[in-house]
C-alpha cells in the first residue's frame, strides 16, 4: 500500500467509527495513505463518495481515503493496523487481520477496554501495540464523524518499554493531537476503567454526566474503588489523564482530596461538547447493545480470581443490560439504588451470643416478677375517659418505675386538661461504645379502652402461660416488657444508649391532646420503639393513615306527597354521593373507604332536608392521602339544588416503611434470630402514635410490645413466655444500638 505516497507510512484503520474515523482523518490529512475497513456498508459507500468527513462545529473537512468492507478488501498485506472496533468485535476483527498482517507489521489497539491480551494471542505479542485512548467523537451520519474536542492518546508496547515503532507511530499521530509514548499504558487503561465505570453509571438515566457524577458521588467513588483495588492487586501503577486523577479514588483516600477531585472532574466534564456518554447514546438513541459490558468482563473475572468484590460494577452492568431491552426504564432511581448499595453496611454489628443469652436467661429467671407487676398494673384501671383513674394510674406508674429503674436523670409531667397527663422520663446512656449519642425513645400509652368498673367483673387472670384482663394486650404487658428490658440491662451491666420513656394517656381516643408533645419529646431520637402489641407476633413496619370525615348534604324540605317536585332530597343526594365516594377505594394501593354510619331525614312523607354520612378512610401512602383529600374537596352535588359539606380531617398520618424503618426492622429480626425465634413484619390498617413519630421523620419500630390477641375485646389476652421473649428482644436491640 506504499504506492500512493512513498514518503509517508501507510495505515489501515479497521473500524472507522468515532475513534478510527478521527485518527484516519488526521493521518490522511497529513498525507499518509490510509485505508479504512468497516463492516457498515452505508458508511463505506459514503466515504467513497464524499471522502471521510470530520465535523467540528459548523465546519466540515473531507479527506480522501480508501474504504472497503472486509469482504471487498483485496489489496496486499497489512503493515500498520489501527484497530478501532468495539471491544466485542475484537476477536472477529483480529481473525480477519491475522492472515493479512505482514510478518513485521503490528496491530495497535486504539479501543476501549482491555483487548491487548486477546490481540496478542491471535497475532503474537511482538506484533501487538497497546494504546490508551480517550476521544469523545461520534459518528453522526454515514461518512461523518463529529469531533469531540481534545482527548488523550497514549501508546506503548504491551509489557515492554517504548520502541522505535511506537515513537514513529506517535510522531505520525501528532497530526491528530497530543499523542504520546509511554511505558505504562496499562496504568492508563486501568485509570480509564475506573473513570469509564462512572460514565457507564451515568447511562442508567437521562441527565448530563457531570450532574449525575456530582449528585451520586458515593456510587461513583465506590465504583472506582472497586476497580482500582483490582489494579492494585495486579501491581499496576495508575496514571492520571485529562482532568481525572485516580489517586483520590483509591480505597482509603482522604475525603477532602476526593471532593476536590470530584469538583475538578465535574467542572472539566461541563466544558465538554458532549454531555451524555457514548453508552447512553447507544442505549437511548441507537438502541444497540453497549460494549461496556464486554470491557468489564475481564475486570470482573480478574477481581473474582483475586477474591475482590465487584458488587457495584456488576450492579451497573446489570442495569445497563436491562436498559438494552427496555431503554425507557432509564431512571435516576437506579443511581439512588446504587448509592444505597454503596452505603449499606455489609453486616450490622450485632450483640454476641453471650450477651443475648444472658439477657434471655435473666429475664426468664424473673418471669414471675414480671407477671406480678403486670397484675398490679392491670389492677389500676385506666380508662381513656376517666381522668381520676388516669391520674391514680400515673401516680402508681411513677412509683413503680422508681422501684424498678431507680430515679431517672430527668422527669417531666406534661399536664393535659381533658386527657391523661404525659410522663417523660430520661435515663442516661450506660457503657455504650457507639459514637451516636442520640437517645432511643420508648413510647407507650397507659390508657385502655375499658371503662372504669370493668375490673369488677373481669379482673386480671393468669392460667399457666395465658394472661387475660382489660388492657393486658393493649398495651400494659408492653410497658412491663419495656421496663424489664431496661432493668435486665442495668442488672447485667450490659450497655445501652440513652433512653427516653414517653407515656401518654389518650392514645386510645386518638392522641389528640398528646401527639404533638410525644413527637416533641422524641425529637432528635435515633429510633422510637413503640411498645404497642404485636400483629400476630409481627412487628409493624407500616401503618395506614386514618381519616375520619363527615359528609353533610343539605337539601330543601317539602311535603313529599302534596308537592313532590318542590323539595330537593338530601337523602337521595347522599345515596348518590355514597356510591361516588366508594369508588375512591383502591385496594391495590391500600386505600379503604368505609361509610360506616348514615343518618338523614325526619319523616317518611318529608323530602329530606338534611343527611349525613360518617366515613373512615385509610391510606397506605401519602400520595393516596393527597388523592383522597383532593377527591373529597372536589365532591359536587348531582342535584344542584343540594349542598355538600365535608368536615373532619386526617387523624393520623401515614407511617410508611422507609429505608430507615427497614434498617431497624432488619436489626430487630437479627436480634430475634440470636434469641432463637423468628420475627416477621406486618403492614397494618390500624394506627398508633408510631404514625405521628414516623411523619416527624423519626425511625419507628412499632408493635414491639405484647404478643397475644383480642385488643379492645373481651377475649384480650397475652402470654407469659411472650413477655419474656419480647422483653429480651427489646433489650437485645438496645444492646445492639449501644455498639453501632
Partner 1 sequence: MPHVLITGAAGGIGSAIAEAFAARGATLTLADRDLTALESTAARCDVPTAVRTADLADPEAPAALVDRAWSALGPVDILVNAAGLYPSLDMADVDTASWDRLFAVNLRAPVLTTAAFARRAMAEHRPGAVVNISSGSAQRSRPGGGPYASSKAALEMATRAAALELGGHGIRVNAVSPGFVLVDSDCNPVSAEYARAIGVNPLGRPGAPQDIARAVCWIAGPEASWITGEVLRVDGGSSTGAHHLPRIWQTDDTRAIAVGTTTEEHTR
Q: Closest CB to partner 1 among 95 and 318?
A: 318
Q: Bridge partners of 43?
A: none
Q: Which three cell numbers stand for residue 358?
A: 444472658
Residue 353 binding partner 1, by CB under 8 A = yes
Residue 252 binding partner 1, by CB under 8 A = no
Site string for partner 1, 309-348 (x = CB under 8 A): xxxx-xx--x---------------------------xxx
The percent helix, strand, coil of the chain (3-state, each to 5) is 45, 25, 35
CB 284 within 8 A of CB 327: yes
Residue of 119, 166, 149 whose CA lies nearest to 18: 149
Q: How far is the CB of 725 from partner 1 (least distance, A)?
A: 15
Q: Closest CB to partner 1 among 260 and 301?
A: 301
Q: How far is the CB of 297 from partner 1 (least distance, A)?
A: 9
Which residues have CB under 8 Å from 670's CB, separation 6+? 348, 350, 736
Judged by CB under 8 A, the residue of 351, 471, 555, 601 near partner 1 is 351
Judged by CB under 8 A, the residue of 175, 669, 683, 709 near partner 1 is 669
Q: Closest CB to partner 1 among 553 and 674?
A: 674
Cα gap 1→84, rounded to integer Å? 20
- Piece in contact with partner 1 (CB under 8 A), picked from 111-119, 481-489, 616-624, 665-673: 665-673
Q: How far is the CB of 679 from partner 1 (least distance, A)?
A: 8
Residue 354 binding partner 1, by CB under 8 A = yes
- Phi, psi (degrees; rounded to nearest 5) at 20: -60, -45
Q: How far is the CB of 659 from partner 1 (least distance, A)?
A: 15
Residue 713 binding partner 1, by CB under 8 A = no
Q: How far is the CB of 302 from partner 1 (least distance, A)?
A: 10
Cα gap 297→36, rounded to integer Å? 28
Cα gap 511→501, rounded to integer Å? 17
How far, CA to CA in Å, does 474 sit from each of 358, 661, 692, 719?
Answer: 28, 22, 18, 13
Judged by CB under 8 A, the residue of 130, 193, 350, 581 near partner 1 is 350
Residue of 533, 331, 534 whose CA lies nearest to 448: 533
Residue 308 binding partner 1, by CB under 8 A = yes
Residue 656: how many other CB atoms lie within 10 Å: 19
Judged by CB under 8 A, the residue of 304, 376, 523, 579 near partner 1 is 304
- Piece in contact with partner 1 (CB under 8 A), picked from 162-170, 304-312, 493-501, 580-588: 304-312
Residue matched to cell numbers 458488587: 311
Which residues have CB under 8 Å from 614's CB, separation 6+? 548, 549, 550, 595, 596, 597, 598
CB 151 within 8 A of CB 133: yes
Site string for partner 1, 262-301 (x = CB under 8 A): --------------------------------------xx
Which residues have CB under 8 Å from 352's CB, separation 6+? none
Cα gap 572→593, rounded to integer Å? 20
Q: Tell me which residues in 46-65 interact with partner 1 (CB under 8 A).
A: none
Q: Closest CB to partner 1 among 164 and 346?
A: 346
Q: How far is the CB of 348 from partner 1 (least distance, A)?
A: 6
Judged by CB under 8 A, the residue of 240, 285, 352, 597 near partner 1 is 352
Q: How far is the CB of 226 from partner 1 (least distance, A)?
A: 10
CB 584 within 8 A of CB 571: no
Q: Closest CB to partner 1 among 296 and 377?
A: 296
Q: How far is the CB of 17 from partner 1 (least distance, A)?
A: 29
Beta-carbon-side half-sphere exposure of residue 232 (alpha carbons within 13 Å): 14
- Size of the chain in residues: 740
Q: How far is the CB of 87 from partner 1 (least distance, A)?
A: 17
Residue matched to cell numbers 412509683: 399
Residue 661 binding partner 1, by CB under 8 A = no
CB 119 within 8 A of CB 96: no
- Piece in contact with partner 1 (CB under 8 A), picked from 95-103, 354-362, 511-519, 637-645: 354-362
Q: How far is the CB of 375 from partner 1 (least distance, A)?
A: 32
Binding site for partner 1 (CB under 8 A): 300-301, 303-312, 314-315, 318, 346-348, 350-354, 356-357, 666, 669-670, 672-674, 676, 678
Amino acid at each position: 500500500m506504499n504506492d500512493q505516497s512513498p514518503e509517508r507510512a501507510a495505515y489501515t484503520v479497521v473500524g472507522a467509527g468515532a475513534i478510527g474515523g478521527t485518527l484516519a482523518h488526521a493521518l490522511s490529512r497529513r498525507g499518509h495513505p490510509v485505508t479504512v475497513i468497516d463492516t457498515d456498508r452505508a458508511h463505506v459507500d459514503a466515504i467513497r463518495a464524499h471522502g471521510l468527513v470530520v465535523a467540528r462545529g459548523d465546519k466540515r473537512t473531507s479527506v480522501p481515503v480508501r474504504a472497503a468492507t472486509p469482504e471487498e478488501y483485496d489489496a496486499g498485506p497489512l503493515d500498520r493496523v489501527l484497530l478501532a472496533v468495539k471491544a466485542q468485535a475484537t476477536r472477529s476483527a483480529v481473525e480477519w487481520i491475522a492472515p493479512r498482517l505482514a510478518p513485521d507489521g503490528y496491530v495497535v489497539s486504539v479501543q476501549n477496554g482491555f483487548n491487548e491480551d486477546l490481540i496478542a494471542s491471535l497475532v503474537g505479542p511482538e506484533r501487538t501495540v497497546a494504546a490508551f485512548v480517550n476521544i469523545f467523537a461520534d459518528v453522526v451520519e454515514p461518512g461523518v464523524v463529529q469531533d469531540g474536542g481534545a482527548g488523550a492518546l497514549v501508546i506503548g508496547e504491551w509489557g515492554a518499554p517504548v520502541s522505535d515503532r511506537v515513537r514513529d507511530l506517535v510522531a505520525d499521530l501528532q497530526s491528530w493531537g497530543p499523542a504520546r509514548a509511554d511505558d505504562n499504558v496499562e496504568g492508563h487503561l486501568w485509570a480509564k476503567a475506573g473513570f469509564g465505570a462512572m460514565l457507564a453509571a451515568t447511562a442508567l438515566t437521562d441527565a448530563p454526566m457531570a450532574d449525575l457524577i456530582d449528585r451520586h458521588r458515593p456510587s461513583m467513588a465506590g465504583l472506582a474503588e472497586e476497580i482500582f483495588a483490582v489494579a492494585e492487586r495486579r501491581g499496576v501503577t495508575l496514571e492520571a489523564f485529562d482532568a481525572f486523577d485516580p489517586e483520590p479514588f483509591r480505597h482509603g483516600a482522604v475525603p477532602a482530596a476526593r471532593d476536590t477531585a470530584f469538583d475538578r472532574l465535574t467542572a472539566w466534564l461541563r466544558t465538554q461538547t458532549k454531555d451524555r456518554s457514548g453508552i447512553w447514546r447507544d442505549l437511548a438513541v441507537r438502541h444497540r447493545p453497549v460494549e461496556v459490558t464486554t470491557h468489564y468482563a475481564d475486570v470482573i473475572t480478574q477481581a473474582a480470581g483475586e477474591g475482590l468484590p465487584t458488587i457495584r460494577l456488576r450492579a451497573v452492568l446489570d442495569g445497563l443490560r436491562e436498559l438494552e431491552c427496555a431503554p425507557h426504564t432509564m431512571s435516576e432511581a437506579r443511581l439512588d439504588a446504587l448509592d444505597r448499595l454503596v452505603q449499606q453496611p455489609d453486616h450490622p454489628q450485632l450483640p454476641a451470643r453471650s450477651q443475648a443469652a444472658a439477657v434471655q436467661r435473666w429475664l426468664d429467671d424473673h418471669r414471675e416478677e414480671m407477671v406480678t407487676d403486670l397484675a398490679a398494673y392491670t389492677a389500676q384501671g385506666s380508662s381513656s375517659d376517666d381522668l381520676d383513674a388516669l391520674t391514680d394510674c400515673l401516680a402508681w406508674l411513677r412509683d413503680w418505675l422508681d422501684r424498678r429503674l431507680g430515679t431517672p436523670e430527668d422527669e417531666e409531667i406534661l399536664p393535659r386538661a381533658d386527657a391523661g397527663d404525659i410522663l417523660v422520663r430520661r435515663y442516661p446512656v450506660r457503657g455504650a461504645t457507639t459514637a451516636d449519642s442520640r437517645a432511643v425513645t420508648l413510647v407507650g400509652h397507659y390508657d385502655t379502652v375499658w371503662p372504669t368498673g370493668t375490673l369488677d367483673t373481669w379482673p386480671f387472670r393468669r392460667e399457666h402461660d395465658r394472661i387475660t384482663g382489660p388492657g393486658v394486650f393493649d398495651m400494659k404487658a408492653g410497658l412491663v416488657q419495656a421496663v424489664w428490658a431496661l432493668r435486665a440491662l442495668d442488672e447485667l451491666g450490659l450497655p445501652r444508649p440513652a433512653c427516653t420513656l414517653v407515656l401518654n394517656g389518650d392514645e386510645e381516643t386518638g392522641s389528640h391532646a398528646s401527639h404533638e408533645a410525644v413527637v416533641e419529646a422524641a425529637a432528635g431520637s435515633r429510633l422510637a420503639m413503640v411498645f404497642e402489641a404485636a400483629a400476630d407476633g409481627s412487628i409493624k413496619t407500616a401503618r395506614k393513615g386514618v381519616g375520619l370525615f363527615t359528609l353533610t348534604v343539605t337539601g330543601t324540605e317539602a311535603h313529599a306527597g302534596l308537592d313532590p317536585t318542590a323539595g330537593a332530597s338530601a337523602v337521595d343526594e347522599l345515596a348518590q354521593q355514597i356510591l361516588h365516594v366508594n369508588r375512591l377505594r383502591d385496594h391495590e394501593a391500600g386505600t379503604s373507604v368505609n361509610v360506616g354510619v348514615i343518618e338523614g331525614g325526619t319523616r317518611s312523607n318529608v323530602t329530606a332536608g338534611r343527611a349525613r354520612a360518617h366515613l373512615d378512610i385509610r391510606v397506605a401512602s401519602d400520595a393516596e392521602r393527597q388523592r383522597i383529600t383532593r377527591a373529597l374537596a372536589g365532591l359536587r352535588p348531582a342535584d344542584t339544588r343540594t349542598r355538600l359539606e365535608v368536615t373532619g380531617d386526617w387523624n393520623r398520618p401515614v407511617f410508611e416503611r422507609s429505608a430507615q424503618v427497614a434498617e431497624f426492622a432488619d436489626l430487630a429480626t437479627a436480634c430475634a434470630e440470636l434469641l432463637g425465634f423468628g420475627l416477621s413484619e406486618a403492614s397494618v390498617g390500624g394506627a398508633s402514635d408510631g404514625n405521628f413519630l414516623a411523619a416527624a421523620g423519626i425511625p419507628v419500630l412499632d408493635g414491639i410490645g405484647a404478643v397475644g390477641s383480642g385488643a379492645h375485646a373481651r377475649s384480650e389476652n397475652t402470654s407469659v413466655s411472650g413477655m419474656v421473649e419480647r422483653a429480651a428482644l427489646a433489650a437485645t436491640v438496645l444492646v445492639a444500638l449501644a455498639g453501632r
